[in-house]
């Protein structure tokens, strides 16, 4: 029986006040099991990125709460929330957001360097493993700026996997990639999920891409309008 990793409980997000207030999220609730491979789909401006940012503890809900393995991060101080984010969550953004001042290896190792808990040899081993998994062997010493778009995104994925997170949150991870690279990335996600047991929550506006995942959560105007599983539902 899969354990519950994440609970989104009645999430509301309001921007502005009074007459100018905009509801970006209204009462969204769902649960995600450990190792689940899911996607969030919706039109542009539907609130899916807002939801992902709240799940990633980058944004705070106006009402409702997010629980990770039963802990409410809102009850923690900022430093503890940062630590939780570093340990549990990996991010892949639409724009790769690599650090141009650092090499490919350093970019991948960065989450572990931030955590500061692993010995250097293990950091090196893990980074090499993540780079190998994503077919980036031999690029370790290159500068992030010397890579192609597809390579950069794969480096960003390797970085997100570095701390072996419980969940990888990806916001339009293939938005800037061609079809070949898009397929490559989704195949990789699937492989990584099954090999590492990492849960995936992928935001996309492309239904055909979403259909490659086991579960589709559809957001329209800030509401969760559909929660469909293509495979058997994990028994929570």
Partner 1 sequence: MLSIRIAWRFLGSSRGQTALIVGGIAVGIAVQIFVGSLITSLQASLVDQTIGSAPQITLTDPEEGEPVVFSSRVEEVIAGQPQIRQETVVPVRNATSLYTDGSDSAPLNLIGGELAKLNGIYKLTERTVEGEAKLGLSDVMIGKDFAEKFNIDPGDSISLALQGGTRASFTVTGVFDLGSAAFNERQAFVNGQVPQDVLGWSSSEYGSIQMQVEEPFASAEVAAAMRSQLPGVEVSEWQAENADLLVALQSQGTSSYIIQTFVLVAIALGIASTLAIAAVQKTRQIGILKAMGLSDGRAGRIFLWQAIMMGGTGSLLGVAVAYFLLFGFSFSGASFSIEPKLSFVFLSAGIGMAVALASAIIPTRATSKLDPIEVIQGG
Least distance from C-beta 34 to partner 1, angstroms? 20
Q: Which is nearer to partner 1, 7 or 84 (CB)?
A: 84
119 binds partner 1 (CB under 8 A): no
Q: Which stretch binds partner 1 (CB under 8 A): 23-31, 67-75, 80-88, 223-231?
A: 80-88
The Cα 30–Cα 121 span in angstroms is 39
| Residue range at the interface with partner 1 (CB under 8 A); choices 33-41, 97-105, 210-218, 221-229 | 97-105
Q: Which listed residue (11, 28, 40, 110) binds partner 1 by CB under 8 A?
A: 110
* Position 78 contacts partner 1 (CB under 8 A): yes
DSSP class per residue in the chain = -PPEEEEEEEEEEEES-GGG-EEEEEEEEEEEETT-EEEEE--TTSSHHHHHHHHTTSS--SEEEEEETTB-GGGS-HHHHHHHHHHHEEEE-SS----TTSBHHHHHHHHHHHHT-S-HHHHHHHHHHHHHHTT-TT-TTSBGGGS-HHHHHHHHHHHHHTT--SEEEEESTTTTS-HHHHHHHHHHHHHHHHHH--EEEEEES-HHHHTTSSEEEEEETTEEEEEEESSPPP--
Using the rule CB under 8 A, give the single segment among 22-30, 36-44, 87-95, 121-129 that binds partner 1.
87-95
Residue 99 binds partner 1, judged by CB under 8 A: yes
Among 3, 101, 125, 178, binds partner 1 (CB under 8 A): 101
Q: Considering only residues 31 through 60, tell me which ones interact with partner 1, judged by CB under 8 A.
A: 49, 53, 56, 58-59
86 part of the interface to partner 1, by CB under 8 A: yes
In terms of CB distance, is 165 or 234 closer to partner 1?
Answer: 165
Stretch that binds partner 1, among 20-28, 106-114, 214-222, 225-233 (CB under 8 A): 106-114
């Amino acid at each position: 029986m899969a354990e519950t990793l994440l609970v989104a409980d009645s999430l509301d997000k309001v921007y502005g006040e009074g007459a100018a207030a905009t509801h970006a999220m209204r009462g969204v609730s769902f649960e995600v099991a450990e190792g689940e491979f899911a996607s969030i789909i919706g039109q542009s401006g539907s609130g899916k990125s807002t939801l992902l940012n709240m799940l990633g503890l980058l944004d705070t809900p106006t009402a409702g709460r997010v629980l990770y393995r039963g802990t409410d991060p809102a009850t923690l101080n900022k430093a503890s929330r940062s630590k939780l984010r570093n340990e549990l969550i990996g991010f892949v953004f639409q724009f790769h957001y690599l650090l141009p001042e650092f090499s490919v290896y350093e970019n991948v190792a960065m989450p572990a360097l931030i955590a500061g808990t692993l010995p250097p040899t293990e950091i090196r081993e893990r980074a090499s493993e993540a780079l190998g998994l994503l077919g980036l062997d031999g690029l370790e010493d290159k500068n992030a700026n010397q890579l192609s778009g597809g390579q950069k995104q794969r480096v960003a994925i390797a970085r997100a996997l570095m701390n072996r997170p419980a969940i990888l949150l990806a916001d339009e991870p293939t938005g800037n990639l061609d079809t070949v690279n898009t397929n490559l990335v989704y195949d990789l996600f699937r492989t990584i999920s099954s090999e590492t047991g990492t849960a995936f929550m992928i935001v996309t506006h492309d239904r055909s891409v979403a259909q490659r995942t086991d579960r589709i959560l559809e957001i329209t105007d800030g509401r969760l309008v559909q929660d469909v599983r293509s495979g058997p539902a994990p028994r929570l």
